[in-house]
Structure 1
């Protein structure tokens, strides 16, 4: 099993044994889009421009081809606000766009030996990606090692932790004892100057989710 990227690790953690992101899990879909954008930012493929818009800086490497759905949209619409990217993939009447991302990243996990491609869904006609337990455990242990031990946090772990926490998935991987230490560590992460690079993405996800809740009530 090869080393995984931020987006690959995030999807692996939220797929669970269902092998897919439900259409009801809108925030998980938003955070998956957020992971794609953050990975492109951290690798210098895209950058923030004036008025909080995103533009391309360089070509997408073959090793990151699973990010093609998001990269291509930015290429077509640049400069484009992150909010527009999330709306296209999550706040729609169909799952087509988010499924395109899940399929691209899911297939990369299969190629990496970290997931199995199967048929599932209500009538068994949907492609799903079931996580390899050893691969998932390796990701969780890496998170645990950095979050619950002293030392500097890597950018990928900060981003992965923030996105898993935002989507409500982080706490299910930790024991009751660990959750106390985790709460203090999360506060430290939020106050870390490194996180400022991610705040725009996380704030936009928050704002869009609030708008969805208001619209549904």
Structure 2
């Protein structure tokens, strides 16, 4: 089963309790929102004109888990990429982010990419839904085949690796040597002037992190 950018990112980013470590890593939470936006751009559902995001077409059934984000864009005045990320990650409206997270997570559950874990705690039994190791391994092996080896490069994989790199999650899945090779290869791909899709995606991600630094400084 081929998963989307947002679902692959969340699959790799969920912790043992089935959440994103937002309190430990703001980067991971921000990159999750970026993954959802970049998926919509990659699928030509939204576009960026004059630095602002516009709806281009309806969501497909395969992207329906992104409906909360799609409707937010549709019902708002045109906004910059980074402003939408701010609205999800730096807003007092925490329900907005939780709704999007839950929709993507529930889609992973429907895809059979998660496992339910029961744990005894001081507060009683707790049920957690986390990523299946074998599902994560498929994503990792795909990255190895396409980026580290001689497999066919897919733009969605490069976008995913860029997000995992920015959120500092790559080191969770790759050795120091592999990580060094991945970063070198990623930089080479990102600097390829012929690949405008990747260049634009990296520019959007970088703009978000500049905005993040300004917001928390």
TM-score (norm 2): 0.88
Could you tell me which residue of structure 2 aligns to residue 208 of structure 1? Answer: 211
Give the SS at the match of 1:129.
strand
Could you tell me which residue of structure 1 aligns to residue 33 of structure 2? Answer: 33
- Residue 148 of structure 1: CA displacement? 0.6
Q: Where do 1:86-105 residues align within 5 Å?
A: 86-93=85-92, 95-105=94-104
Could you tell me which residue of structure 1 aligns to residue 112 of structure 2? Answer: 113
Residue 173 (str. 1) matches residue 176 (str. 2):
no
User: How many angstroms apart in 1 are the aligned matches of 2:36 and 2:65?
Assistant: 9
User: How many angstroms apart in 2 are the aligned matches of 1:176 and 1:53?
Assistant: 38
CA contact (8 A) 2:33 2:88 kept: yes
User: How many angstroms apart in 2 are the aligned matches of 1:54 and 1:93?
Assistant: 22
CA contact (8 A) 1:12 1:136 kept: yes
Which deviates more from structure 2 when the two are superposed, residues 119-128 or residues 131-140?
A: 119-128
Could you tell me which residue of structure 2 aligns to residue 196 of structure 1? Answer: 199
Cα RMSD for the two superposed structures? 2.4
- Residue 183 of structure 1: CA displacement? 2.8
Q: Where do 1:44-193 residues align within 5 Å?
A: 44-50=44-50, 52-93=51-92, 95-116=94-115, 129-150=129-150, 152-193=152-193
**Which consecutive aligned stretches of 4+ in structure 1 deviate over 4 angstroms post-superposition?**
117-128
Which deviates more from structure 2 when the two are superposed, residues 107-116 or residues 122-131?
A: 122-131
Structure 1, unmatched stretches of 5+, are none
Could you tell me which residue of structure 1 aligns to residue 9 of structure 2? Answer: 10
Give the SS at the match of 1:80.
coil
Deviations 1:150-188 (A, max 9, x none): 355211011001000011101221112222322321221
User: How many angstroms apart in 2 are the aligned matches of 1:97 and 1:22?
Assistant: 17
User: How many angstroms apart in 2 are the aligned matches of 1:156 and 1:99?
Assistant: 24
Structure having the larger proportion of residues in helix:
1
- Residue 203 of structure 1: CA displacement? 1.8
Aligned residues: 212
Structure 2, unmatched stretches of 5+, are none
